[in-house]
Amino acid sequence: TSETFRKKLHSLDGKSYGALKQLTGAWDFGTFTLHIDKVQSDPYAPASRMHLVIPRQATALPGELTRSAEQRVAAADFIARDLADAIRQGPREYGFVTPGQEILPRSSVVVSESAVQVRFTFQFPAAGRRVKGKLAARLLGERLFDLVKYSAVGERLDPEQLREHVETYTDFSALQGQLSERGLVAFVADGAILPRSAGDSDTPLRSALAFESPEEFRVKFSLPSGREVTGMGVRAGITLIAGGGFHGKSTLLRAIERGVYSHVPGDGREFVVTDPTAAMVRAEDGRAVTGTDISPFINNLPGGADTSRFFTANASGSTSQAANLAEALEIGAKTLLIDEDTSATNFMIRDQAMKQLIAAEHEPITPFVDRVRALYDQLGVSTILVVGGSGIFFGVADSVIAMRSYVPSDVTDRAHQIAGARAKPVDFDFASYSAVTSGRSVVPASLRGSRGSKPPRGRGLEQVQIGKENLDLRYLSQLVDAGQTNAIALALELVARELDRPQNPTQGRHLHSAVLTVIEQLQQQGLDLLVGAAGARAESSARVRGDLVLPRVAELHQAISRWRGLKVGS
Ligand code: ADP
Ligand code: MG
């Protein structure tokens, strides 16, 4: 009981941190159970990890909003936000991750049919190297009762807000699921607020002009909650977003890029919805490339490097963008998102004057403009492209949207007129392109870092530490939560195991199928699967962690592709 727990903590007052080990285990508090999973070994070690199990009868969660797995993800996300607020205002000994603007599967709160679990950390207060047991008893005991009682798991649940949160998520997924049958790769709702309040903030710009769709692209969706939304449907094929500088082109594309995720009510992007496989493809000079087939885009490099299995520790602007594109195809992206602001010009286009000056046989790059049509016609891969500086793409585009003072309009006919007869697609056959036919096979051990090193771990949003090396994820613009980075770090072991399994002869050790399998397992079995995986290698580890968020297949695959220790097989 909570009384035994209190007494126990009192008896530990003034003891050394080693004595805290006795607390490990489950403590029955009546309406809920406190599980102490891993206690810190000293005051300066990472905080202790614990979780609460609150039976559903003790919560106010309505059954009708938690029936499906999808509803439970959104309900958990809602509770996590409420608890993050409450815990942030409370004693600083508590640690709980604060969610961003996306509604995502998180390990901090897990709602099941029978219980709600809340995972948090607690820093045992110290006087020197001794435990302040009495203070800990007060901070944990009483505070936890309050937290459970006066939060969204208890009395303070606002059922209407919960409903809105859950329906925002389920409507979003329903809309996302309908995109392809409607011939669309993205949808931007009328009334959406696209710009963010600052370059380093993800909250909506209050003074923004709300989005208004051009009539020619307007479509309507009826959603499961009964809600109807209208907005701009971006059709499959090749879409250009054109317009003058500072007229809102990149802002529109960035919203579409984040539209792979559901956003919280009030974000402004709740109904900006994108093909879930969509991948941003940018230049990223300096990245490592390991065995990627970039041959449709780059060939005959000086020095004779084989671009069908391209290796470099230091890619150029164009080769890095080619690798990013090839790897997006490898993992199954059906929509590519490209902004001229972050592209290598020579990867995208080459004009007539340059063609005259530099003969084709001395130019290794076939510009994207000569491949974009075949990508769609043969592989069904659409492209949404922001351009302001060149009209070269007009001839190959299916739709052209002009942004003017943040207002989109349909200028497709005019752009086609300007281009003259629609440019003949440059002939290219993707049928035997290895990135889509087989993909790379990877040596499993190369995902594990050096022998005897600690398991990989996430360090903030942008880095994973593997052994002594850092894996740099700063250019993955669709990686949005440090919890995804943590999950990617742990998922490396699961991918390695998947690659290690007795091989299915048709699949081989293909990286893309291993990544797809792992993410599917995490979706179905939950993020706790990751902790089990790490625990098997680490000397000791708690069974649960509250700091994991589900990544997409794209980001897990992109992370692995950037790992400098990666080794590919034949
Ligand atoms: P472009 O890519 O066309 O040069 P950006 O998308 O970078 O332009 O936008 C330029 C500026 O306009 C940014 O500061 C952005 O926040 C702001 N902006 C974009 N869309 C809107 C909007 N709908 N309402 C108000 N400001 C906007
Ligand atoms: Mg721009």
The b-or-e profile of 131-141 (16+ CB within 10 A means b, else e) is bbbebbbebbb
- The C-alpha angle 432, 433, 434, rounded to 5 degrees, equals 105
The rounded distance, in Å, linking the Cα atoms of 543 and 534 is: 10
Task: Give the number of C-alpha atoms closer than 13 A to the C-alpha of residue 314, restricted to the C-beta side.
Answer: 0
Residue 533: its pLDDT value, please? Answer: 66
DSSP letter assigned to residue 278: -
The rounded distance, in Å, linking the Cα atoms of 277 and 76 is: 24
Neighbours of ion ligand 2 (CB under 5 A): 250, 341
Residue 490: its pLDDT value, please? Answer: 96
How many angstroms separate the first and last alpha carbons of the chain?
Answer: 60
What is the position in ligand 1's atom list of the atom closest to the CA of 207? 25
The rounded distance, in Å, linking the Cα atoms of 61 and 77 is: 13
- Nearest-CA residue for atom 20 of ligand 1: 248
Q: Between β-strands 279-280 and 335-339, what pairing exists: parallel, antiparallel or unpaired?
A: parallel
CB distance 254 to ligand 1 below 6 Å: no
DSSP letter assigned to residue 50: E
Residue 423: its pLDDT value, please? Answer: 61
CB distance 408 to ligand 1 below 6 Å: no
Average pLDDT over all residues of the chain: 94
CB distance 245 to ligand 1 below 6 Å: yes
What is the position in ligand 1's atom list of the atom closest to the CA of 386? 2
- pLDDT tens figures, 392-421: 999 999 999 999 999 999 999 999 999 986
Q: Between β-strands 399-404 and 289-292, what pairing exists: parallel, antiparallel or unpaired?
A: unpaired
- Please, are residues 27 and 9 in contact by the beta-carbon 8 Å criterion? no
Indicate the pLDDT class of residue 506, thresholds 50, 70 and 90: low
CB distance 406 to ligand 1 below 6 Å: yes
Domain boundaries, the chain: 2-157, 279-437, 444-562
The rounded distance, in Å, linking the Cα atoms of 116 and 56 is: 6
CB distance 210 to ligand 1 below 6 Å: no
| Ligand that lies nearest to the alpha carbon of residue 342, given by its number in the listed order | 2
Q: Coil, strand, or helix at residue 271?
A: coil
Closest listed residue to residue 384, CA positions, set 320, 420, 429, 339:
339
Q: What is the CA radius of gyration of the chain?
A: 26
Share of the chain above pLDDT 90, in %: 87
Higher pLDDT, 508 or 194: 194
Share of the chain above pLDDT 70, in %: 96
- Please, are residues 542 and 319 in contact by the beta-carbon 8 Å criterion? no
| Ligand that lies nearest to the alpha carbon of residue 405, given by its number in the listed order | 1
What is the position in ligand 1's atom list of the atom closest to the CA of 253? 6
Sole residue written with tokens 């972050």: 342
Residue 537: its pLDDT value, please? Answer: 47
| Ligand that lies nearest to the alpha carbon of residue 341, given by its number in the listed order | 2
Residue 504: its pLDDT value, please? Answer: 60
Give the number of other Cβ atoms within 10 Å of residue 301's Cβ.
16
Indicate the pLDDT class of residue 538, thresholds 50, 70 and 90: very low
CB distance 249 to ligand 1 below 6 Å: yes
* ipTM of predicted complex: 0.99
- pLDDT tens figures, 423-480: 666 789 999 999 999 999 999 999 998 888 889 999 999 999 999 999 999 999 999 9
The rounded distance, in Å, linking the Cα atoms of 258 and 273 is: 8
328's tokens: 């997006």
Provide the whole-model pTM.
0.96
Q: Is the pLDDT of residue 509 over 90?
A: no
Higher pLDDT, 335 or 535: 335
Amino acid 74 reads A
CB distance 195 to ligand 1 below 6 Å: yes
Distance 251 CA to ligand 1 centre (A): 5
- pLDDT tens figures, 282-319: 999 999 999 999 999 999 888 888 999 999 999 999 99
The rounded distance, in Å, linking the Cα atoms of 115 and 570 is: 48
CB distance 268 to ligand 1 below 6 Å: no
- pLDDT tens figures, 126-138: 999 999 999 999 9
